[in-house]
Amino acid sequence: MAERTEWVLSRTEAAARGGMVAAKTQAAAEVGAEILRRGGNAVDAAVATAFASGVVEPWMSGVGGGGFLVAHFPDKDEAIVVEFPMVAPAGATPDMFPLAGGVDTGLFGWPSVVGGANIAGPRAVAVPGVPAGLALALEQYGSGRVSLGQAIAPAIQLAEEGMPVTWHTTLTIARDLAQLSRFPATAAVFLDAQGHPPVTVDQSTPTMLRQPDLARTLRAIADEGPRAFYEGFLAAAIVGHLAEQGAPIVAEDFAAYRATVAPALAADYRGHRLLAPGKGTGGTTLVQSMNLLNELDIAALGHNTPQALHLMAKAFRQAFADRFAYLADPAQVDVPLEVLTSIEYAREQAAAVQRDGMGPVQAGDAARLGVSHGLGVSMPHYVGSSGQAVSGSTTHMGVIDKDGVSVSLTQTLLSLWGSRVVVPGTGVLLNNGMMWFDPEPGRPNSVAGGKRPLSNMAPALLTRDGRGVASLGASGGRLIMNAVAQLAMNLVDHRLGMQDAIAAPRIDASTPDLRVSSRLPRPTQEALTALGHRVVPRVESPGGSEFASPVGIHRAPDGLLTGGADLFYPAMAIGVE
């Protein structure tokens, strides 16, 4: 007998054999599915979906942001990462954000900055990577049947014709109304004539959110290629506007930007291989977590049992302690990536996880990891308040095509609405990528010119015996990494279907508190408290989940594709026959 009424939500699972796209909006997923129907491969579809996502979910991503694309090609069992992160301008300095004293709990536990200049406004902007990265992915790994212009065309149409304003659109604009109102060009795009969030009263005649300036920008990229964004009139408009507002970005920062391709970082997990971006990303922390969990027999403990969740939480916390102590841009900082992601280190840490009680979590010993410079000192975030767990302005999409080529792509503006700065005449909403840096000088992730910030994005693929098994990923800031790990475990350890793997209640141990879904049984929550965790239940409801928001696709050995999406977000998986 239930004590009270509760939301009980469910989704059906999509199924198809000709390919599948999963994205955070139906409109974006439809774009990718149509590319597959026209004979494009998974990369073609992912690129088109990504451009469309930046139009229909503009608060989450767009050409003013950055991201990572992971792809696996079964014909040669090759896995690559197209890297297109946001990058600090060359003129950025470690002391460019004067400290205000105290900790900003709305960030990552970094010290507060005077005027919140690293959160909103022109000084928060880093050089965007999306146009360069998506174009590079299409050029090098697309099927050759879809041109850049054809991949961008649906996004142009959506920007010109507009998207219907839904309750989700209105809510998302209302959440940040005060900040959006600060910037006239931003308000002109996203607010109505009275400066209010647009509202649809009658669903049969919805209010439309049109972005004609953005359509012209996208058309320029489609016609002239990505360098139009970095060297042409678009670059001049963006750099000029930012410079007028006191940002350190100059034309050379845009002209010098290049997306790159790197091998995927991999973790072996119970007969499967998890592939993700490496370096200063959430992928490195995800891989470290999976290596550690592979040394613990979680499957034998049962799905979401107190003892299983206890060990998972300890493993996740260890990976996060190392993350905030050591991870940064390895091109500028001595980062022990090889050791942190090694099996030997995972075995050492797993032994400690199983042996030790619930004392303070310590980052790995600097001498053991082979680094100096005091990098072993944990970040203040990890020992302080755990109120900060930014949801982030991030979107995710996955694609698996009929030939088994699989793609996982995450792109972001960083926080919701990024910097809140729309460049007049371009429609481009810019990121606040400088917020990812620790504003205190002398830390691994402190600000520096040309440096990549430590990002949370962790798009992932699962393979087995050289064949794609799943495309996984989520939006949700630092909550992404634990979520993707649990999706993989639900599929591999507990053999859940894709939708059930996504819908299962989760935990998050990326802060000293242990966030647990209120859907977990109360005795389980009480048992975790008894084991020493600071348990904080989080209620999940439509439009209000405080966990990462995933989508995913699973591929069975016979080629059947099944897709799932977050219960609490208007996401969608669409199959193609």
Indicate which residues carry an active-site annotation.
Answer: 394
Rounded to an integer, what distance in angstroms lies between the CA atom of residue 571 and that of residue 153? Answer: 22
Q: What angle do CA 557, 560, 562 make, to 5 degrees?
A: 115
Cβ 162 vs Cβ 209: under 8 Å: yes
Q: Which residue in the block uniquely carries the two structure tokens 């996203």?
A: 190
Tell me the H-state helices in 57-129.
none
- With 0-12 / 13-18 / 19 or more C-beta atoms within 10 angstroms meaning exposed / middle / buried, residue 166 is middle
Pair of tokens at residue 234: 């678009």
Q: What does DSSP say about strands 460-464 and 467-475: parallel, antiparallel, or unpaired? A: antiparallel
Torsion from C-alpha of 52, 56, 61, 62, nearest 10 degrees: 50
Crossing angle between the packed helical segments 306-326 and 343-355, to the nearest 10 degrees: 130
Residue 469's contacts (CB-CB under 8 Å, 6 or more residues apart) are 272, 461, 462, 463, 491, 554, 555
Rounded to an integer, what distance in angstroms lies between the CA atom of residue 353 and that of residue 347? Answer: 10
Cβ 109 vs Cβ 388: under 8 Å: yes
Cβ 428 vs Cβ 214: under 8 Å: yes
Q: One-letter amino acid identity for 517?
A: S
Rounded to an integer, what distance in angstroms lies between the CA atom of residue 480 and that of residue 471? Answer: 14
Cβ 431 vs Cβ 132: under 8 Å: no
Residue 355's contacts (CB-CB under 8 Å, 6 or more residues apart) are none
Rounded to an integer, what distance in angstroms lies between the CA atom of residue 86 and that of residue 131? Answer: 11
Distances (CA, A) of 240 to 244, 247, 505: 6, 10, 47
| Among the listed residues 416, 296, 281, 389, the one whose alpha carbon sits nearest the alpha carbon of residue 341 | 281
Residue 534's contacts (CB-CB under 8 Å, 6 or more residues apart) are 386, 512, 513, 514
Q: Is 525 helix (H, G, I), strand (E, B) or coil?
A: helix
The count of other CB atoms within 10 Å of the CB of residue 239 is 22
Rounded to an integer, what distance in angstroms lies between the CA atom of residue 318 and that of residue 328? Answer: 17
Q: Is 197 helix (H, G, I), strand (E, B) or coil?
A: coil
